[in-house]
Amino acid sequence: FSETEKIPVMRGQWFIDGTWQPLEEEESNLIEQEHLHRFKGQQLQESFDMEVSKPVDGKEAIHSLKLSRNHVDWHSVDEVYLYSDATTSKIARTVTQKLGFSKASSSGTRLHRGYVEEATLEDKPPQTSHIVFVVHGIGQKMDQGRIIKNTAMMRDTARKIEEKYFSNLATHVEFLPVEWRSKLTLDGDTVDSITPDKVRGLRDMLNSSAMDIMYYTSPLYRDELVKGLQQELNRLYTLFCSRNPEFEEKGGKVSIVSHSLGCVITYDIMTGWNPVRLYEQLLQKEEEELEDRWMSYEEQCLLEELYRTKQRLREIEERLHGLKASTISKPPVLKFKVENFFCMGSPLAVFLALRGIRPGNSGSQDHILPRTICNRLLNIFHPTDPVAYRLEPLILKHYSNISPVQIHWYNTANPLPYERMKPNFLNPTKEPTSVTDSESASTVPSPTTSPVMVRRHYGESITNIGKASILGAASIGKGLGGMLFSRFGRSSTTTPQTLETGKDGAEGDDKKATTAGTPPFPHSGSGFLEPAVELEHRIDFELREGLVESRYWSAVTSHTAYWSSLDIALFLLTFMYKHDQEDPDKSNLDSI
β-bridge pairing 63-66 and 70-76: antiparallel
Q: CA 410, CA 568: separation in Å to the nearest integer?
A: 8
Q: CA 558, CA 145: separation in Å to the nearest integer?
A: 20
Question: Is 558 annotated as catalytic?
Answer: no
Contact 268, 226 (CB under 8 A): yes
Nearest Cα to 442, choosing from 341, 494, 520, 531?
520
41 dihedral zone (left: phi>0; alpha: psi -120 to 50; beta): left
Q: Nearest 5 degrees, angle CA 517-CA 523-CA 527?
A: 145
Contact 258, 137 (CB under 8 A): yes
Contact 67, 27 (CB under 8 A): yes
DSSP alpha helix (H) spans, 125-260: 146-165, 190-193, 200-208, 211-217, 222-243, 246-249
Neighbours of 296 (CB within 10 A): 8
Q: CA 545, CA 550: separation in Å to the nearest integer?
A: 9
Neighbours of 171 (CB within 10 A): 15
Question: What is the four-CA torsion angle of 164, 166, 168, 170, rounded to 10 degrees?
Answer: -130
Q: Which residues, in sequence order, are bridge partners of residue 72? A: 65, 82
145 dihedral zone (left: phi>0; alpha: psi -120 to 50; beta): left
The residues, any chain, with a CB within 8 Å of residue 546's CB and separated by 6 or more, are: 554
SS3 35: helix
Q: CA 511, CA 263: separation in Å to the nearest integer?
A: 38
Of 129, 260, 440, 446, the catalytic one is 260
What residues are annotated to the active site? Answer: 260
